[in-house]
Amino acid sequence: MMNSEGGNEDCLGWAARDASGVLSPYKFSRKAVGNDDVYVKITHCGICYADVVSTRNSFGATNYPVVPGHEIAGIVTKVGSNVQRFNVGDHVGVGTYVNSCRDCRNCNAGLEIQCGKGRVFTYDSVDSDGTITKGGYSTFIVVHHRYCFMIPKSYPLASAAPLLCAGITVYSPMIRHNMNQPGKSLGVIGLGGLGHMAVKFGKAFGLDVTVFSTSISKKDEALNLLGADNFVVSSDQEQMSALAESLDFIIDTASGNHPFDPYMFLLKTCGVLVLVGAPSEIKLSPGSLIGGMRSISGSAAGGTKDTQEMIDLCAEKEIYPNIEVIPIEYANEAFERIINKDVKYRFVIDIENSFK
């Protein structure tokens, strides 16, 4: 099965070869297991919107062929001689990055995602050895143990996969901005993969959660499926005005362009809006910040410390993403459904059974 001393091992995956973004079977080599590495047999991989964007070369920098996937869950099959944290048989996750300098201020603070010398993304990124990383739409991955996270065996691996991007992307800023105070109020803009996790964390933290959406069709699932306390159609001026200066926090997960001033005026004095979506621009009047001493902040996926804490919290409080498990052969159709916002709320590829 494996040669951990010499040559590399063939890995089976699915890759996009050009800007059409169409995925098809692909064989490639993974590096041999080094002294500090963990070999993970991938059982599941979540589909993130970033996978759609990168495979279609939306930013003009994709290196083809590209194997996407950065919401990885699986089982440890082999560990290097220096690895103390993991053993064969452990359930683990791998998220959005697989390397960093491990020596800068941010890395030393457990904020590897903000590595001063540049973190290495899990796929389509240049690693320290000059190779291009390849992601989790594949049978296994070899990664430095620092970027692996223990998943309790009581927690389903299929459910764990979306935590490695969607989950940590909202959890990290919530902890950083003290959004875990029971009785406080949280607004969540958008109800996709990130938004539904923000609602779940908000309720677990004891917050009063209001979901904002452009579509009334999301009301039932927001209130009855996810347990939000309130639902507001953001284009309804009367509903928005009724919430003026009522929220302590807002998590904005919307990636499409949208106005910010109407939301800023919903914040209480010293309230904060955290942007985790990726609109092409942010426009707001200075008065939205100056009046009420409000602030706006951005956030990416979290560091290793926050990620492990989040996984442990989800296991303890039984917080599970809402997922639709699919075979790898369905991935191209899943991409189209993501573009059409036809998923509730995260596709997860059953890697283990797809490659049997």
- The pLDDT of residue 242 is 95
- The pLDDT of residue 278 is 85
Strands 120-121 and 37-46 turn out to be: unpaired
- The pLDDT of residue 4 is 36
Would you call 291 helix, strand, or coil by DSSP? Answer: helix
Which residue do the tokens 């209130």 mark? 223
For 293-355, what is the HEC assignment?
A: HCEEEECCCCCHHHHHHHHHHHHHHCCCCCEEEECHHHHHHHHHHHHCCCCCCEEEEEHHHHC
Give every residue of the chain whose pLDDT is below 50, as ranges.
1-6
State how far the Cα of 20 lies from the Cα of 64, in Å rounded to an integer: 11
- The pLDDT of residue 59 is 87
Look at the chain and count its residues. Answer: 356
Q: What is the pTM of this model?
A: 0.93
Cβ-based neighbour number of residue 355 at 10 Å: 16
Q: How many CA atoms lie within 13 A of 286 on its CB side?
A: 0
- The pLDDT of residue 7 is 53
State how far the Cα of 346 lies from the Cα of 102, in Å rounded to an integer: 31
H helix and E strand count, the chain: 12, 17
- The pLDDT of residue 67 is 98
- The pLDDT of residue 215 is 86
- The pLDDT of residue 186 is 98
Q: What are the residue boundaries of the structural domains of the chain, listed by start?
A: 9-165+322-350, 168-298
- The pLDDT of residue 43 is 98
- The pLDDT of residue 200 is 97
- The pLDDT of residue 317 is 96
* Cα–Cα nearest to 66, from 9, 145, 121: 121
State how far the Cα of 49 lies from the Cα of 96, in Å rounded to an integer: 13
- For domain 168-298, which architecture applies? 3-Layer(aba) Sandwich (3.40)
Q: Contact 187/240 with Cβ under 8 angstroms? A: no
Give CA angle at 66 (63, 71), nearest 5°.
125
- The pLDDT of residue 232 is 95
- For domain 9-165+322-350, which architecture applies? Alpha-Beta Complex (3.90)
